[in-house]
Chains A and B, each alone.
Chain A
């Protein structure tokens, strides 16, 4: 046993004490944030203008509705189809001689109403060709798909397969397609990937698949949304930071450079959006729709600009992201809101379609071992000499 829990006990107790001390302070900040939310400083036009003209260092939500809006859900259509996709992957293992990775996508298609039906499927995809395991530029540069980039590739594949399934649906019923996590490929925003990587994964990947969904939506009632459980985002709290900022225009680097403790906006610091909406919303209500002003969205997403709202469920506040073309249609927003509530009720607090897609996609530690075993066995049967690292061998045969 390598983790000595007895040594950890005292440290865990310190952690609990520290959290308890901060809780009182957090509550006071939350009360202030809620007051600010309903104050003239947060008035829609005033704050929206302030946000647009600001040079903030925070990621601040854009406003399209009153910031303290609370909207109840319309009844969920009795007859509808919910599609969901989720994925998991086995990354390239540099300790194995075969350079390959696996993406396993689970799809759940649940039909409700007169003809209830379900289709739960799994699609494991193995990538091993030179053009598959790396993204290449026309001038011969290569970026290997592994680690964080493979996570992004997986998100793109989840969207591709959701789109394919949506195209195959024959029944003339409203469809809501659900993706797990964020519509924003955050990995591309933070890292300095070359343009050809962003083009392949975003322009030619996620956005192209969303284009197909937009096309489908012209002929039928169809919406797509992504669901973030227990979100840690602070876009709306950051909008409140701007609302209480005394500087006009807001320019953090200029006005507060070097000030780390006495900034007025810190009165709402440390809060998460979910704290705010957990108090503001009643069960089942959604918040206003906000616009993501993240750099990657602004630069690349176009008609798929990511909008989002929070919805209060019995167990938690979730963040729901929708592309602009969904956000602009009141009926589609209502459809997404009501279907997500309904899905959470059916799924013991979490959308049942996403939960089933996850169950189909999940790759366990045992699966990983079996996968590499299968690869090695098949290569050996083909008469190929297998190299593997000494470290790998050492892990496999633990000795004393």
Chain B
């Protein structure tokens, strides 16, 4: 996936999160990656926390239909309508915003705009955003249907790739997490194990 590319569009939004529908099936930004969308005043940053591919019509179930073909690609080529009937969506937890040149690692005044275009972030932008790790507080407190620690670890692994010294970044992130999860060593260990 090209970094900085327009990949999706916001279809649901609240102050703390937004859901975006991908333009291409199965082409969501990776779990934990930093994405952004724009309002007139702000750029809103989010961390991808869940990816779903489902039928566009909630009343129509996807059924298995590939018994007679050898590969999944053949299945899609034989049923070209499938790509128009399925949708890949992802949810992003809002972790900060930019107003002019000022980066803030807390929630913006308003939610992401519906139909706002969603872009993946360039490596330099990831580096700039993660200079401060204050956003980790927002992730640590998030409530998801599965363990948010998976998202925290994925986010830090992904961000570390934008640094020449990934290890140093992860050590710094580990310290930040230790501060946030100090009283919960089991949880801290669980996240740290996932940073490798």
Contact = CB atoms under 8 A, between A and B. Distances in A.
Contacts of A261: none
A347 to B, nearest CB: 9
Interface stretch (B78-86, B103-111, B165-173): B78-86
Q: Identify the 4 closest CB pairs spanning chains A and B, nearest first.
A: A116-B80, A118-B80, A118-B81, A116-B77
Interface of B: 57, 60, 63, 65, 76-85
Contacts of A352: 79, 81
Interface in A93-133: 108, 110-112, 116-120
Given A359-B57, A359-B60, A118 B77 contact: no
A112 B80 CA distance: 7
B78 A118 contact: no
Contacts of B77: 116
Interface of A: 108, 110-112, 116-120, 346, 348, 352, 356, 359
A346 B60 contact: no
A120 B63 CA distance: 19
A346 B66 CA distance: 10
B80 A110 contact: yes
B153 to A, nearest CB: 38
| B63, B80, B83: residue with the most chain A Cβ atoms closer than 10 Å | B80
B83 A346 contact: no
Contacts, number: 30
Nearest to B65: A348
A359 B82 CA distance: 13
A356 B55 CA distance: 13
A280 B160 CA distance: 70
Contacts of A346: 78-79
19 contacts: A108-B81, A110-B81, A112-B78, A112-B80, A116-B76, A116-B77, A116-B78, A116-B80, A118-B80, A118-B81, A118-B82, A119-B84, A120-B81, A346-B79, A348-B63, A348-B65, A356-B81, A359-B57, A359-B60
A61 B63 CA distance: 40
A120 B87 CA distance: 14
A348 B77 CA distance: 17
Contacts of A108: 81
Contacts of A116: 76-78, 80
A111 B57 contact: no
Contacts of B81: 108, 110, 118, 120, 352, 356
A117 B80 contact: yes
Contacts of A356: 81, 85
Nearest to A117: B80
A118 B56 CA distance: 15
Contacts of B84: 118-120
A346 B68 CA distance: 11
A117 B82 CA distance: 10
Contact of A111 (B76, B80, B83): B80
Nearest to A342: B78
Nearest to B83: A118
Given A117-B80, A118-B82, A352-B81, 6 more contacts: A111-B80, A116-B76, A116-B78, A118-B83, A356-B85, A359-B60
A110 to B, nearest CB: 6
